[in-house]
Amino acid sequence: MKKKYGSRWPNQLGFSLAQGLLLWLVVGVAYAHVTHAQENQNRLTLHAENQEIRKVLTDIEKAAGVRFVYSSQVIDVRQKISLHTTNSTLEEVLGKLFKPLKVAFELVGKKVVLSAPVPGSPETGVLSPPQAEFETAIARRAVSGRVTDEKNTGMGGVSVLLKGTQQGTNTNADGGFQLDLPDGTRSSPVVLVFSFVGYLSQEVTVGNQSFLAVSLAPDNTSLDEVVVTALGIKKQSKSIGYATATVSPEEVTVNRTTNFMNALQGKVAGVNITSLGSGPAGTSKIRIRGQSSFGGNNSPLIVVNGVPIDNTNNGARGDVSERGSNRTSDGGDGLSSINPDNIESMTVLKGAAASALYGSRAKDGVIMITTKIRGAGTGIGLEYNTNFTTDTPLDYTDYQYEYGQGENGVRPTTPFPTSGQWSFGEKFAPGMTQILFDNITVPYEPQRGQINQYYRTGNTWTNTLSLSSGGEFGGFNLSVSNLDNKTILPGSGYSRRTVNLGFTQTLAKKLTVSGNVNYSNEYRKNPPNIAEQDFSPVVLFSMANSMPMELLEKYSTDANGDEVRWSRFTNRTNPYFSLKRFDNIRTDRVFGNLTARYNFTDWLFVQGRIGQDFYSREQDYNLPTGTQRQVPAPPGFVNGQFVQDARNVRELNADFLLGANRTFGVVGVNLNLGGNQMYRKISRHNVLVQDFFSRNLYTIGNSRQRDAVYDLSERQVNSLYASAEVSFKDYFFLNGTARNDWFSTLSPENRSILYPSVTASFVFSQAFASALPNWFSFGKIRAAYGEVGSDTDVPPYASNLFYTINAQQFTSVTGAAQPLANISGTVVPNANLRPMRVSEKEVGLELKLFNNRLGLDLSYYDKLSSDQILRAQTSDAGGYQSQLINVGKSQNRGVEMLLTLTPLTRNNFTWNTTFNVAYNVTKVLDLGAGISDSQITVGTGDFTGELRQVVGQPMGQLFGFGYLRDAQGRQVFDAGNGRPLRTPTQIAFGSALPLWVGGITNGFNYRGISLSVLIDFKLGHKLISGTNHNAWRHGLHKATLVGREEGFVIGNGVNANGEVNKTKSGVQAFYETVRSQNIAEEFVYNAGLWQLRQITLGYDFSKLVSRRVSFIKGLRLSAVANNVALLKKWVPNIHPEQFGFPSDNLLGLEATGLPITRNIGFNLNVRF
Amino acid sequence: MKKLTSFLTAVALLTSMSGCDKGFDELNVNPIALTSVDPAFQFNTAVVSTAFGYHNLQYETIIVKQMINPFSGVGAAGQYNQDNRGVTAANWQQGYRNVVRELTDVLAQTKDVPARSNLYHMTRIWQAYQFMMLTDTYGDIPYLEAGKSYLEGIVKPKYDAQEAVYASLLTELETASAALDATKARVTSDVIYSGDITKWKRLGYSLLLRAGMRLSKVNPTKAAEVVGKAVAGGVMQSNDDNAILRHNANFQNPPGAQLNGGQADFFYLAEDFVTHLKTTDDPRLNSIAVRYIGAKSAVDQKEPSANRTAAAQIGMPQGFDNTTISAAVKTDKLVSLYEYSQLDRSRMANAQAPTFFVTYAQTQLLLAEASFRKWTTGDAAALFANGIRSHMRQLASYGASTAIAEPAITTYVGANPLAAGKELEQINTQYWVASFLNGPEAWANFRRSGFPVLKPNPFPGSDLKTEQFIRRLTYTDAERNVNKTNVEQAIARQGADLLDTRVWWDKK
């Protein structure tokens, strides 16, 4: 592990030609003139004249692939020096540099650890740190200890100094240290200062203890942090002129969710993630900087290792419509195939400028995922991770339990009552009975907890094993993973098996070949039907409050296996009968890419890459035989449906990139030129059959009526792009990009579209370093402008009119089967569509203050989405229902802030806080001249309410009928029947889009025990609750108790003549008015929530274990809890996110999803 | 530096590269989709899509007091005299989206193709029939510019006044019927008559008769003139000429499918209808009705308790909902509302029951009235009797269990002769019975003739302001959103967009 510099370091470091060239290049830039040194490997040529030491160190780091670690006490990096070496080894260079400075250095791995020479050490500066195991015999007081990082891993090379002196030591590779305290210090407290570059320094007062456990917290300055940007181009963080966010893989692996993106809720500023109430295998809804268009899907582009992958949303009413009746289940999305354990890093590109190089696909930002392609360090590594959580359904209902099942104040007293969904019966009293089903007499008493009686406790278990290796010229990472989920809905589950292989290899020092192959096999079993009453557990939320669940289960079917009628409305399928519904979705997916990069010279490279995402998705599902809901089959058959669907999706991306990077004096130039060809093909075979010969045999062969379809869609986008960056003195960066796309889906005149961007970054803390105070660690301002688009709105073949021939023939009067044909679709074909366009301005500020204990990243953006493709409704009288036109325009403006703070770091204890918040306001600017009343309806609620876009208003306006009020604001009731009257037209209730989204994470670390608590929030939006609407009209809502005692309700208000309302209305009729009159106002709520989202408690047992079992290198155990508690909500009876639609066009139109679950479990990570 | 220059040159060359869209025109052609079909198949789709829907039970059949649905909920419509736009839109959407769109396309494809002239004229007749139902329902409608969103890019069609629409419909029916030519190619795929030109001509002239009679209040002269033309052209001669759609398991009768599915216990026969049939000893009641004796709940509506005898039938009174009806249930000495008489879903409302668009019986009754009015020759009493007889015989088309024995028919016809001074009432009351389950026609003729004499629906809290019965259905909310100028012009012309407003021919 540890090598002293004097040995064979060049071989160990793998100091290659490429690195040598790079050093020459970078060092040359820094020193204001280019020296054409011999290109002699392993040799450095440096010419620094009166440069700051930190500058020199940085350049050597880059050139030699090493990293200096030191504390500010060891060396004053602002000190200026001169250094000239020609053709020298690193050893010589370091010696020449540090000897005059009286600084010791040591090579630990690829780190060069600098320390102050301990008195008595050889003058040459080699420091031999004391071993942890070293038993000192010296009588003087000695203290030993161990320094760990935030992951509780031992930290080597940490400087440990007596405060105010240069005396001290460095930790060894495992973080251990031992230090003799000088004489005469027993009386006064000794303070040790622990420091390490990239980490916050910590002072520890030594009391009587002889062992110190010190944990250092990272400081997030990381001036030279490298960020993966669009197309996989790596850039220095400080050079970037737009907002990015990087996500550490631990955020999605320790306290994880089944669809890993859901674990990021509340963690990234400006990214609004919603896990839907559609089950753990469901879609994760991601919106970056809010909804940007009137379309339903505003999801970001997902890029894995530089190549986009398919993220088709198969959610309930999502991108793909399913055939057959009553289909509102969530078939998941493309993200779920990703095994989070295989993620190396994630970057979120938020704005148009950031994603401009993706042109037509980037309007909603990009989530860039880099997977592991090699082991860390050298040698072979083995890692095992296991994660187990139990998922408990959360019941938020707070219903009335005073009056039970029945209608009009009467409880069921005759067999087969159909009031199973009504709680307008009699008042409960001891000894009362009711008759249910076939004359069963049971007590008439409240049945609380029906929801938890129906659902079960689910669990999720994930196991991942990774094998990796790394070496001088490359490495690989292979991981195998298995996830098994048992969903809270009985009979429902999800399993995923993944194999991921990544590798990289450098050949002949000029050619690097790397790639990754990812295979996933997913099986979704019976994803629940949600948001509608048919075949759905949703009816649980309007279940009569005295219905015994065990009876409901017992009487779910009759002797024939048919559903027993229990509700007046036959579409209220008995939830136990609904379990006869099956749905199997099996996805086999392979995605990955292969990259070859060739370095012509040190400043010019070319890269070619080919990537493919291919999956086949097979699905079969039924509509069970014997429901009350369906029409009986013709004689000789039983009813029901069965569908088989097979889909193949292929997206092929081939691209090349040519890059050049040169410096001319203080000016650096970086050019990239590339091209991409994207080809996408989706084919689908689907057979829908109806009515069966034999019961319970759901097959095509057993069916009476068969309807097979085959769909095909192909599209291609060819692109050329270029970027150019000019830097000045490494603190000012100007970057421009241009991308031109050619679309196969557009008419030749519209086919070619250019997307430009320009960004600037100015690191003023570096430019004005001398003028700024010491506590000002880092400061940067940035500005960007970019234009991007979206090609998804223009489907292939949108310009043509097609016909369909009906699968069934009609028997004419002569008995002959006659064909039927019709025009396909309901949208008027339009040959002149263009992709919509987003232009976005953005400015930002990044600050690091007080030795990095305070960090701020602030962005302001102004985003204009124009040329939006509006599915504009047309007059039915024209024969079609809508027309796609490029007219819509909307604006998103907002501020994002990320604040990092270390309020406390002292004696083994650190407290870190990060607070992120995004404020986003939207406005509809234009819907085209053809729209009456300047508004369009984009979605209709299942029970009540609509979602509209209204010019001049924020996007996503909830509309519905309100209660009629007179000029004085008094509610108006019908003079004849006493029921509430409704407004003549639908009225606006506000936007369903949150204004504020954010989260607060507090992390605590004490002696290796880490605790992290995340609270997130979404505020400033409304919802119309369908669940409450149903609870109201079925008499479960507590507010419907008014009038029960009297047997009538007299609404508080006036009649149409302005007289005080005195008309009595029947109780049930009064509360049912909201349904028959479609009144939404009663159910409009603030949709905001404050949620205690995650708690993670972890401890690193590495030290304890590795002492006993030497082959275990690391062991970390964490207790995790997700969706811990709702701290504040405004909507009664439901969780505000218990809502199943991913579409932005159904936002806020709540229609009862699967209950939200609380997940509690553990995560164990072992490294060998 | 030199290298950089050459690099930049390469960049410039590459970006100016052409041919980045090679092959795109071919790629954007769907290789599997049909770009054309035989328009005769589209014609079939239009005809099948014209079948009356469940929504016609919710308004028309309830307005004329033949059926009633007491249950509240999203379907609240005619039973509460309520303007439920979700339901009023149904005729509009069905007519324009599914029928007018296809037929307009068929007309465009066949207009100038001599070989397809019969298809062209059949399409004109059916198009006229569909437009007639639309204008009878709503009044002024998009007519000349309808169905042309794609063909002519008219996504906001203008509305034509009903008077102009009728003028054009009369011409269309007359000229198209005349132009049908048995010597030209026959449209054998036609699902109604297999392209039988004689029958199509009779249908065309029978529709012309219907359209002409519709003008009896607003323009009797014109009505008489049209009746003359229709009779001269040749109307239906027997039940064999009936325009029937024979539903099957794949194309079910829409109300039949609903009444056999989830809505089985929602609809009941209305008191007025049952009482009329009972008091006149009409044998048709035996074919129409069923009552589940002792049914306490929907589950009890099962075969063992079914009683199909006319004497046992009790119609449900209007004016109640499922919660307030308990008073009537008590008065009628029933155990629950589920015990009222229903349209028998195992017979006339079975899922494969035929749809009758235009019948010989209706035609005979219209002729009876025309001849009574002296607009045509013929014996009104004989035509009247023949109309009743034909409708009774027509019931056999639902199956043997609804067929009425000839002696029963003779008895009824003999017992109910056309009586002096009551001709119009008798004829149109029979038309009402003969149009049972054809909601649009029963309602239109009720509005035109004023018969049968019905008591207004007493349900409290009606949306009607001035009228006793619903006189038209309101335009769709969508039209106000997307075709505002044109719909407002129509409203300005014909009156407020209310259930009360009378259409042009429905003169007071």
pLDDT per residue as tens digits for the range B342-354: 999 999 999 999 9
Q: Which of A565, A881, A935 sits opposite B97 (nearest CB)?
A: A881
pLDDT greater than 60 at residue B287: yes
- pLDDT tier at A851, thresholds 50, 70, 90: confident
The one-character DSSP state at B185 is P
Cβ–Cβ under 8 Å, residues A397 and A541: yes
Question: Is some CB atom of chain A closer than 8 A to the CB atom of B186?
Answer: no
Q: Which of B32, B35, B262 sits opposite A712 (nearest CB)?
A: B32
Tokens representing B134 are: 């639309």
For chain B, the C-alpha Rg in angstroms (whole number) is 26
| 3-class secondary structure, B38 | coil
- pLDDT tier at A15, thresholds 50, 70, 90: very low
Q: What are phi and psi of B344, to 5 degrees?
A: -70, 110
User: Chain A: residue nearest B187 by CA?
Assistant: A818
Lowest pLDDT segment from A352-361, A779-788, A1008-1017: A352-361
pLDDT greater than 90 at residue A632: no
pLDDT greater than 80 at residue A930: no
Question: Is some CB atom of chain A closer than 8 A to the CB atom of B430?
Answer: no
Question: Is some CB atom of chain A closer than 8 A to the CB atom of B198?
Answer: no
- With a pLDDT cut of 70, the percent of chain A lying above it is 91
Chain A: give the shortest CA distance to residue B231, in Å. 26
Let me know how many helices (H) and strands (E) chain B has, helices first.
Answer: 22, 9
- pLDDT tier at A139, thresholds 50, 70, 90: very low
Q: Which of A804, A933, A1076 sits opposite B73 (nearest CB)?
A: A1076
Contact A876 B297 (CB under 8 A): no
User: Chain B: residue nearest A747 by CA?
Assistant: B25
Instruction: List, as ranges, residues 97-116 from B with C-beta within 8 Å of A.
Output: 97-98, 100-102, 104-105
pLDDT greater than 90 at residue A1109: no
pLDDT digits (tens, 9 = 90+) for B60-88: 999 999 999 988 766 678 998 988 888 99
Question: What's the predicted TM-score (pTM) here?
Answer: 0.84
Q: What is the mean pLDDT of residues B295-302?
A: 86
Strand (E) positions, A907-1043?
A: 909-926, 935-940, 946-950, 957-960, 972-973, 987-991, 996-1006, 1009-1019, 1022-1025
What's the gap between Cα A761 and its chain centre? 27
pLDDT greater than 80 at residue A636: yes
Q: What is the mean pLDDT of residues A596-613?
A: 94
Contact A797 B102 (CB under 8 A): no
Looking at residue A197, what is its pLDDT? 67
pLDDT greater than 50 at residue A1129: yes
pLDDT greater than 90 at residue A774: no
Beta strands A803-805 and A732-743, pairing class: unpaired
- From A1152, A1067, A1025, select the one nearest A402 (Cα to Cα): A1067
Largest CA distance in chain B: 114
pLDDT greater than 80 at residue A54: no
Strand (E) positions, A116-236?
A: 142-148, 159-162, 168-170, 176-180, 190-195, 202-206, 211-215, 226-228, 234-236
Cβ–Cβ under 8 Å, residues A372 and A502: yes
Sequence length of chain B is 508
Can you give the three-state secondary structure of A330-345, one letter per residue?
Answer: CCCCHHHHCCHHHEEE
Q: What is the mean pLDDT of residues B90-99?
A: 97
Chain B: give the shortest CA distance to residue A975, in Å. 8
Q: Which of A564, A742, A803 sits opposite B21 (nearest CB)?
A: A742
Cβ–Cβ under 8 Å, residues B59 and B85: no
What's the gap between Cα A822 and its chain centre? 43
Q: Which of B98, B257, B262 sits opposite A570 (nearest CB)?
A: B262
Measure the CA–CA gap between A30 and A991, rounded to whole angstroms. Answer: 53
Q: Centre a 10 Å sphere on the Cβ of residue A985 and count the other Cβ atoms it contains.
A: 11
Tokens representing A387 are: 């994660």
Lowest pLDDT segment from A200-214, A877-891, A1124-1138: A200-214
Cβ–Cβ under 8 Å, residues A278 and A315: yes
B464: Cβ contacts below 8 Å, ≥ 6 apart: B81, B470, B499, B500
Work out the burial of residue A416: count CB atoms within 10 Å of its CB; fewer than 13 is exposed, 13-18 middle, 19 or more buried. Answer: buried
- pLDDT tier at A279, thresholds 50, 70, 90: confident
Lowest pLDDT segment from A8-12, A144-148, A740-744, A1121-1125: A8-12
Query: Which run of H or E residues covers position A733?
Result: strand A732-743
Tokens representing A760 are: 């600037």
pLDDT greater than 80 at residue A928: yes
pLDDT digits (tens, 9 = 90+) for A545-580: 999 999 999 999 999 999 998 988 888 999 999 999
Looking at residue A224, what is its pLDDT? 62
Q: What is the mean pLDDT of residues A171-200?
A: 73
Looking at residue B183, what is its pLDDT? 96
Contact A570 B257 (CB under 8 A): no
User: Chain B: residue nearest A985 by CA?
Assistant: B477
pLDDT greater than 50 at residue A728: yes
pLDDT digits (tens, 9 = 90+) for B227-274: 999 999 999 999 999 999 999 989 999 999 989 887 788 999 999 999
Lowest pLDDT segment from A210-224, A1153-1167, B437-451: A210-224
Contact A977 B28 (CB under 8 A): no
Q: Which of A744, A801, A976 sits opposite B27 (nearest CB)?
A: A744
Looking at residue A377, what is its pLDDT? 67
- pLDDT tier at A32, thresholds 50, 70, 90: very low
A86: Cβ contacts below 8 Å, ≥ 6 apart: A37, A45
Contact B14 A673 (CB under 8 A): yes
Looking at residue A222, what is its pLDDT? 46
pLDDT greater than 70 at residue A140: no
| 3-class secondary structure, A374 | coil
Measure the CA–CA gap between A950 and A960, rounded to whole angstroms. Answer: 14
Cβ–Cβ under 8 Å, residues A316 and A1140: yes
Q: What is the mean pLDDT of residues B329-334?
A: 94
pLDDT digits (tens, 9 = 90+) for B183-202: 999 999 999 999 999 999 99
Q: What is the mean pLDDT of residues A727-737?
A: 93
Question: Which of B14, B22, B41, B244 to probe by mutation at the A interface, max A CB count within 10 Å?
Answer: B41
Chain A: give the shortest CA distance to residue B251, in Å. 7
Chain B: give the shortest CA distance to residue A798, in Å. 9
pLDDT greater than 80 at residue B307: yes
Angle between helices B439-449 and B423-434 (to 10 degrees): 170
Looking at residue A108, what is its pLDDT? 62
- With a pLDDT cut of 70, the percent of chain B lying above it is 95
For chain A, the C-alpha Rg in angstroms (whole number) is 34
Per the prediction, chain A carries an average pLDDT of 86
User: Chain B: residue nearest A740 by CA?
Assistant: B15
Which amino acid would we find at residue A256? R
CA atoms within 13 A of residue B24's CA, in its CB half-sphere = 22
Looking at residue A1076, what is its pLDDT? 76
Instruction: List, as ranges, residues 383-422 from B with C-beta within 8 Å of A.
Output: none
Q: What is the mean pLDDT of residues A953-972?
A: 95
Looking at residue B241, what is its pLDDT? 97
Looking at residue A5, what is its pLDDT? 38
Q: What is the mean pLDDT of residues B498-504?
A: 96
Measure the CA–CA gap between B258 and B268, rounded to whole angstroms. Answer: 13
Looking at residue A207, what is its pLDDT? 74
Q: Which of A570, A816, A874 sits opposite B149 (nearest CB)?
A: A874
Q: What is the mean pLDDT of residues A364-369?
A: 93
* Chain A residues inside the 8 Å CB shell of B34: 802-805, 821
Strand (E) positions, A241-295?
A: 244-247, 271-275, 284-288
Chain B: give the shortest CA distance to residue A1059, in Å. 16
pLDDT greater than 50 at residue A22: no
* Chain B residues inside the 8 Å CB shell of A884: none
pLDDT digits (tens, 9 = 90+) for A747-759: 888 889 999 999 9
- pLDDT tier at A938, thresholds 50, 70, 90: confident
Contact B326 A408 (CB under 8 A): yes
Contact A875 B73 (CB under 8 A): no
Cβ–Cβ under 8 Å, residues A705 and A808: yes
- pLDDT tier at B507, thresholds 50, 70, 90: very high
Range from A114-128, A493-507, B472-486 that averages highest in pLDDT: A493-507
Q: Centre a 10 Å sphere on the Cβ of residue B91 and count the other Cβ atoms it contains.
A: 25
Q: Which of B20, B45, B482 sits opposite A821 (nearest CB)?
A: B45
Query: Which run of H or E residues covers position A1076?
Result: helix A1067-1076
pLDDT greater than 60 at residue A129: no
Instruction: List, as ranges, residues 267-326 from A with C-beta within 8 Å of B.
Output: none
* Chain B residues inside the 8 Å CB shell of A748: 21, 24-25
pLDDT greater than 90 at residue A69: no
pLDDT greater than 80 at residue A89: no
pLDDT digits (tens, 9 = 90+) for A296-323: 889 999 999 989 999 888 888 888 888 9
Work out the burial of residue A694: count CB atoms within 10 Å of its CB; fewer than 13 is exposed, 13-18 middle, 19 or more buried. Answer: exposed
- pLDDT tier at A1, thresholds 50, 70, 90: very low
Question: Is some CB atom of chain B closer than 8 A to the CB atom of A818?
Answer: yes
pLDDT digits (tens, 9 = 90+) for A448-490: 999 999 999 999 999 999 999 988 788 999 999 999 999 999 9
Looking at residue B386, what is its pLDDT? 98
Chain A: give the shortest CA distance to residue B7, in Å. 9
The one-character DSSP state at B168 is H
- pLDDT tier at A8, thresholds 50, 70, 90: very low
Contact B478 A823 (CB under 8 A): no
Contact B7 A415 (CB under 8 A): no
Measure the CA–CA gap between A202 and A224, rounded to whole angstroms. Answer: 22
Alpha helices in A182-282 (DSSP H): 250-253
